[in-house]
Amino acid sequence: MAKFDIIAATGCPTGIAHTFMAKEALEKAAAERGLTIKVETHGQVGVENELTKSEITGAKAVVVAADKDVQAERFAGKPMVSVGVSKALSVEAAGKLIDRALAAKGDNTVAAAADVEDEAEEKESIGHVIYKHLMNGVSHMLVFVVAGGVLTAVSFLWGITSFDSTAADYNTFAAMLKIIGGIAMNLMVPVLSAYIAESIGKRPALVPGFVAGMIAIQGLPVNAETGMIDAGGAGVGFGFLGGIVGGFLAGYVILLLEKVFAGLPKNLDGLKAIFLYPLFSTAIVGLVMLGISGPMAAVNTAMMDFLKGLSASGAVVLGLAIGCMCAFDMGGPVNKAAYVTGTAMLTEALAAGVGTDTYNFGTNFMAAVSAACIVPPLITTFAVVVGKKYFSQEDHDAGIVNLILGCTHITEGAIPFMTKNIWPVMPIMMLGSSIASILTIMFNVHDPAPHGGFLVLPVVENGPLWVLSILIGAVIGGILFVAFKKYDFEKNQKAAPVAKPVEASKAAAVEAPKAEAADFVKVENVFVAEDFASRDEALSFVSNQAVKAGIASDADAVMNAFLAREAEGTTGMMEGFAIPHAKSDAITEAAVIVVKDESGVTGWDTMDGAPVNVAIALLIPGAQAGTTHLKILSKVAEALMDEDFRATVKGSTDAAEIAETINARLV
């Protein structure tokens, strides 16, 4: 059985994007450190790449990046770090988690890292624990909402009242779809409640969790004539808020019962699981839920009235609130809060029936939420097409893929663009989403399906206006995004100094013999006495030198490639060295340019915090990204482990000697 240095588990509430983005980031970060890793993912299709007991036992450390239950108790005793999935979406962030996990202590708690600042971040906060339990319920609930909502919406294709046998447009198949969809939607709250409970109290908590959820949708039944509690009476449900309360209640009641029954003999464990836990937990949770049904119903009604009050304040106020929430964290907790609220409103709308005020408000609200979620990925698509020269090839490719993600209501595709420049990209995304939401409300669009993006257009009322609203938001956001990238691009170019190597470099280049044609490092591409104010100034210098040397055709493209790589994770190493690398189609031949700054380049993150004195810059044509690039990078990284190599390159002012020393290690 293979052993891994690091094992990890990732999971997000929807299991669509964050889960696998974190997996990829962790794998890349481990590879950069020469570590082996296995990442278990908890997505909507279930657990993939599952960790075995022997793999857990043999691992040096564990990284858990999840906002749902991933059974972290399996890793008890191992050095471990546990954070939300959003903390592992970049290679740099994932690398820090791996470093912290390796530095942690092995015990039964979430490990603390070596320094005090990281220790404060390392331990799971109460807020994250609650959020993780909540999102475990949401992740299981969403599939019921999507399936039920879309089936119900499809039934409307035969007519708004096609499910009603007394209506003129009645259709048997449509009626069956409506029944199936309604059943799935009615399971939303019980499933939410049950899997919040399961996240806390594991399998025994499922029973009281489901019961709590059912009570939440039915309420306390009261006889209309006597005013007394009556099993045959009718109650007022208190919706998904009640499901959340019931889920947490059920989970913690199970934990309490485990302590109460801890003293029973071991041979009664079967009795506890089958009889004692379900009986007592269901009774306790059921009584409490029925007891609080009145206050909870009032809270639920007040929340719905508040949202309707926002609507009464105008489309701008409500649309702005929806748009900002949906685009704030692109699928994170704020986005999920808006989406879950939308699905709850939609559930009430479908239950109320077509033509009612509740139906009109709920489906309009859902349309605004969907529009806001679709816009951010489309903003990136517009930007990389219109402003292609301002983006790296990697960003351009990601933006094109986002066209598909956006059209299918998957917001997470915009995350990598936002994480590189939170300001002003986040406000741009929020503005674009808000515009789409406001217009959707103003155009009186109604969406009876909770997910699917443009796939559900046939059932959307005023669908063309909905698409128009989304396109307007995406185009305005895209224009602003391109304007920012253009400004940033031109600022970097202005910061580039005129390439004038100092006299010492010129002398070295003249006196030294010419390097062989096969050498990656040519003497004229070694600059030994430079003075850079920042990392970006050094990279800009290298980019311009590459064009002057005939290595590249476009300095801007090379600079963008360097910056794109730095955004993934710093190339600063230790003891004053850095290995920046650019992969671009604008580079015509593989080469290495070396720059030295005796005073040290500050602002370049390095493993030991020291400034960079020597940057060995790798320039690779796009077509050689997986071949020549990896070969040179691995050779340089290996050379930097040699103390004599470091001393020679760092101490020499002879360009020819430096070129010869590096070339010798690239053979």
Catalytic residues, by residue number, are 12
The closest alpha carbon to 403, from 424, 381, 385, 433, belongs to: 381
- For residues 663 and 523, is the Cβ–Cβ distance under 8 A? no
The closest alpha carbon to 557, from 425, 420, 394, belongs to: 394
Cis peptide before 427 (omega within 30 of 0): no
Instruction: Give the integer Cα–Cα distance in Å for 264 and 27.
Output: 46
Residue type, 489: F
DSSP at 2: -
Count CA atoms closer than 13 A to 444's CA, side-chain side.
2
Query: Which residues sit opposite 48 in a β-bridge?
Result: 41
Count CA atoms closer than 13 A to 329's CA, side-chain side.
15
Helices (DSSP H) in 105-263: which residue ranges? Answer: 116-122, 126-155, 172-186, 188-201, 206-218, 239-260
Cα angle 331-335-338, degrees, rounded to a multiple of 5: 145
Helices (DSSP H) in 409-554: which residue ranges? Answer: 415-420, 422-442, 463-494, 503-511, 535-548
Residue type, 55: E
- For residues 374 and 455, is the Cβ–Cβ distance under 8 A? no
Q: Which residue, chain included where needed, has tokens 């119903």?
A: 297
Distances (CA, A) of 439 to 320, 361, 443: 10, 15, 6
The closest alpha carbon to 660, from 529, 501, 508, 542, belongs to: 508
- 324 φ/ψ angles, rounded to the nearest 5 degrees: -65, -40
Query: Which residues sit opposite 7 in a β-bridge?
Result: 38, 62
The closest alpha carbon to 413, from 379, 390, 460, belongs to: 379
Count CA atoms closer than 13 A to 60's CA, side-chain side.
14
Tokens linked to 344: 């709850």
Q: Which residue, chain included where needed, has tokens 């070969």?
A: 631
- For residues 127 and 181, is the Cβ–Cβ distance under 8 A? no
Strand (E) or helix (H) holding 410: none
Query: Which residues sit opposite 619 in a β-bridge?
Result: 582, 591
The closest alpha carbon to 586, from 384, 386, 393, belongs to: 393
DSSP at 25: H
- For residues 469 and 439, is the Cβ–Cβ distance under 8 A? yes
